[in-house]
A and B are shown apart, each in its own frame.
Chain A
Amino acid sequence: MKSKWIVTVLGVALAGILAVGCGEKKDEKKAEAPKQEAAAAKKLVLGVAGAQSGDLASYGLPSVNAAKLVAKEWNAKGGVNGMQVEVLPMDDQCKPELATNAATKLVSEKVAIVIGHICSGATKAALPIYKDAKVVVMSPSATSTELTQSGDYPNFFRTISYDLIQGNAAANFATAELKLKKIAVIHDKGDYGKGFAESAKKAIEDGKAAKVVMFEGITPGGVDYSAVIQKIKAAGADCVLFGGYHPEASKIVTQMHKKNLKIAFVSDDGVKDDTFIKTAGVDAEGVYATGPQILADNAVFKKALADHQKEFGSEPGAFYSQAYAAAQALLNAVAKAGSTDYDKVVAALHSEYVETPVGKIKFDAKGDAEGVSFSVYQVKDGKYVLVK
């Protein structure tokens, strides 16, 4: 009996040390459970789905903040059509299987408008559920080309441009600006990374100025990518074009430098995140990444930034402007439509212009925001700066 006590005490003590040892405990505010039964008629619930925990949380949390700020602004003016806006966050960790759960939950809460999801794979998994329930979905960050271009999801919109354009931008930058000739295209086999890589590859081959010397997928989460790096080296590539997210990108650049392979590394907006610079450290220097264009002179952009600073006391993270724009576009459409009726909201999104941090936008027939595009950034002294 005595030994059982010892074990219990030991277990608790061990657990304690690690919890206290680092003291980095985040007091995450859990989603305030919506009181849907009370006054459902007077409330407009804005669902925000995406990675709010897990290793890609840094992409999803800014959109929750953005939605809250936009909702607060509308509420201060008396709400949308007299309805107070309430933000309902839903976590999917960027995992398709969790995304379908999140979507089902939002649908069962009778949410009519949703910002999300964050990752393309998760968005693709969740969209059929929203489509059947006639829910309008707007992603700030899911860039997979087929989401809009396939025409399968008339209920889907986005405030970011898509991978075909992003892949072209990255490919053009590598071949025309950096004048590189032999390009190794690597991806993480995911919907997003592979989509980006394929469109970049096509753009390079069509451009004829450079050659794709290698096109391969790697296993995400692996401990070691040295074999692939040796292969890049043997292929004589002068540029690596990577489609995927930052955890793999930082491992690849680190190991490239360890193997004395110091060639240009061009990647996508999954890498254009400060977490990448933090984990890759000095090896991040010089890395190029495409990312949504930032309109630094735009008045709404400045206001959105200042509001975030005031409310949360920090710089907003990735896709904040896009999410802010999505929240504005959705609420504006509901206001113009006069109700949350699906057909009217969709029609309003296609026809009504709205001033957002990403410019004055409306949505084209496929659901893509008109006028948004990608720029190229480079890591200099631990920060992403605009190159082109």
Chain B
Amino acid sequence: MEYFLQLFFGGLSRGSVYALIALGYTMVYGIIELINFAHGEIYMIGAFMGLIVAGVLTTLGWPVLSILAIALVVSVLYSAAYGYTVEKIAYKPLRSAPRLAPLISAIGMSILLQNYIMLAQTPDFLPFPRLIPELAFMDAVSNYLGTSDLFIIATSLVVMIALTFFIKFTRMGKAMRATAQNRKMAMLVGVNVDQVISVTFIIGSSLAAVGGVLIAAHVGQINFAIGFLAGIKAFTAAVLGGIGSIPGAVLGGLVLGWAESFATGYISSDYEDVFAFLLLVVILIFRPAGLLGKQRAQKV
């Protein structure tokens, strides 16, 4: 039972990581039906910005938690600006083009950003400072759950609730839902679609930055390529949960995290990915739109 719980919580924290990144994928897809492959890179850039800020503040000798807070704020702002700019440069000019064009543009953007960071920063792995202190009251359960795991789980929970609230109850959220349902119609009734899309990218990128900093602080190292695998896993989580659905992204992330954790624990870590993707295939056979995705009539 103890072993089961250890795997359960391990999967929970891993799944929360996937969920945090998956939220950005799913929001963008929900609004403009684009798989934003550059999202993993925004996550990586957020982590790098966090490292730069943390590096500077650490030499100034600030307390750890305040460094974490400032690093989060700065990298959120910075990544949000990146997300905004990427959309304007790479996706907006292609908005009325066939759907494959922005997809290719997204892949191109991903490769560009990755290589740019490799050249501008370094190809090596860099140590990321331990910004999340081990809190004393977590000692008792540290076998199951570390403080950084708790931070990540709590953050994705808070973010998901806040996002749901934002989309359900605010004016902008309503505009988003309208745009998601039918962009042309929304435009006709006076929704500023361009603004809605920009806001979506800004929010998605901010979440990626939060994920980037927290996960980098948890793992303790970053390099230019970390966005790739994280992006693939998060994208899988988004599809698993039903792409376009916000609770779906979180559920998908958790299911993927648990699948990997239990597969490793009870079978073999050699087969970790095999079981995770087998699960994806099985779920998509029975629920093609994902766990919480809505079956939409195909617009022809």
Spell out A's residues near B (CB within 8 Å).
3, 7, 10-11, 14-15, 17-19, 21-22, 24-26, 53-55, 57-58, 189, 216-219, 221-224, 226-228, 230-231, 233-234, 246-247, 250-251, 254, 258-260, 275, 278-281, 283
Contact = CB atoms under 8 A, between A and B. Distances in A.
Contacts of A19: 120
- Can you list the 6 inter-chain pairs with the closest CB atoms, starting with the nearest? A227-B264, A226-B10, A19-B120, A227-B261, A230-B6, A7-B88
B124 A57 contact: yes
Contacts, number: 137
> Which of B7, B85, B142, B261 counts the most A-chain CB atoms under 10 A from its CB?
B85
19 contacts: A3-B88, A7-B88, A7-B89, A11-B85, A18-B45, A18-B120, A22-B120, A22-B121, A24-B122, A53-B118, A216-B270, A217-B269, A224-B10, A226-B10, A230-B7, A247-B125, A250-B125, A258-B148, A280-B127
Contacts of B89: 7, 11
B260 A227 contact: yes
Given A57-B123, A218-B269, A279-B125, A226 B14 contact: yes
Nearest to A12: B85
B81 interface: yes
Contacts of A223: 14, 17, 215, 218-219, 226, 229-230, 233
Contacts of A227: 7, 10-11, 14, 260-262, 264-265, 269, 272
B142 A55 contact: no
B175 interface: no
A275 B124 contact: yes
A293 B115 CA distance: 37
A10 B3 CA distance: 51
A222 B228 CA distance: 10
A92 to B, nearest CB: 13
B221 A189 contact: no
B117 A18 contact: yes
A352 to B, nearest CB: 38
B244 interface: no
B88 A219 contact: no
Interface residues of B, number: 57
B13 interface: yes
Contacts of A189: 270
> Which of A26, A258, A275 counts the most B-chain CB atoms under 10 A from its CB?
A258
B237 to A, nearest CB: 12
A234 B268 CA distance: 13
Contacts of B10: 224, 226-227, 230
Contact of B146 (A15, A221, A228, A258): A258
> Which of B17, B118, B220, B273 counts the most A-chain CB atoms under 10 A from its CB?
B220
B48 interface: yes
Nearest to A217: B270
Contact of B264 (A57, A231, A247, A250): A231
A53 B221 contact: no
A55 B125 contact: yes
Given A221-B225, A228-B269, A14 B264 contact: no
A19 B157 CA distance: 34
A260 B262 CA distance: 20
B210 to A, nearest CB: 15
A22 B146 contact: no
B85 A226 contact: no
B52 interface: yes
B25 interface: no
Given A55-B124, A222-B229, A260-B143, A251 B265 contact: no
Interface string B192-204: 0000000000000
B245 interface: no
A224 B124 contact: no
B106 interface: no
A275 B223 CA distance: 12
A337 B13 CA distance: 62
Given A224-B14, A281-B220, A22 B52 contact: yes
B49 interface: yes
A251 B220 contact: yes
Given A11-B85, A18-B49, A224-B17, A250 B124 contact: no
A21 B126 CA distance: 15
B13 A224 contact: yes
B268 A221 contact: no
A186 to B, nearest CB: 8
Nearest to B272: A219
B269 A231 contact: yes
B4 to A, nearest CB: 10
Contacts of A58: 124
A24 B124 CA distance: 12
B82 interface: yes
A224 B3 CA distance: 17
B165 interface: no
